[in-house]
Amino acid sequence: VKIMSVKSLSDQVYEFVVKLIQNGEVYVGDKISEGFLVEKMGISRTPIREALIQLSADDILENVPRKGFFVKRVDEKKKNDIYSLIGMLDSYAIGKAMPKMTDEVINELENAIKKMDMAISLQVYEQYYEYQEMFHELYRNRCGNDAVGDTIKYLEKKIIRVTYFDPDIENLYSMLSQMNDEHRHILEAIKSGDVEESKKRVYEHWHDDARDSLFEE
């Protein structure tokens, strides 16, 4: 029997702050105060402090002495270095997973792409993010190395300012549509059984100029 893990209060606060950043509700340089989180979440300050300290340790927030916690800007070189690492890990994952890409998995990948198309058209970008995660996890979970997916999630935390929020709706629609086209190219390579092409497509997905421009602050 698989036991479902229950997220601690500090984990819930951590995720709440991340969502604020992802959804464009707070920006680089904005203060994240304990009082604000107490009011929003209705919990005590102890788990809130634990979450803020962890967010600071993960380079998402900056702890300024006697002033508080502020949303931190991602260094451009660091962001690119992290993308390179994620690209290499994800490329490795799909290469190892290719022998396990059954018709059932391929159908699930196709459904994830369709759901992303729908999320883009309806402008529900948080759902787009969830379906994108679903797409990538379908092959990561079959690569035979759980540490790959765990490491990618850890690295993604370091660039949490990478969001799907943009006041320019037309630009956002165009960029996300292009990114989903990249998912289609990945799927085509999987269907063809071409391991090297699949690895190449996944690696390039993390190094696309359009993606970089979308996520510029």
The pLDDT tens digits for 51-110 are 999 999 988 899 999 999 999 887 788 888 888 999 999 999 999 999 999 999 999 999
What lies within 8 Å, CB to CB, of 36 at 6+ separation is none
Instruction: Please compute, for residue 192, the number of CA atoms within 13 A of its CA located in the half-sphere on the CB side.
Output: 13
Band (180; pLDDT cuts 50, 70, 90): very high
What gap in Å lies between CA 35 and CA 45, rounded to an integer?
8
Of 143, 138, 146, whose CA–CA distance to 104 is shortest?
138
**Helix, strand or coil, per DSSP, at residue 63:** strand
Output the pLDDT for position 1: 41
pLDDT in tens, 1-59: 434 456 799 999 998 998 888 777 888 899 999 999 999 999 999 999 999 999 999 88
What gap in Å lies between CA 152 and CA 85, rounded to an integer?
8
Band (216; pLDDT cuts 50, 70, 90): very low
Band (157; pLDDT cuts 50, 70, 90): confident
pLDDT in tens, 111-133: 999 999 999 999 887 788 889 99
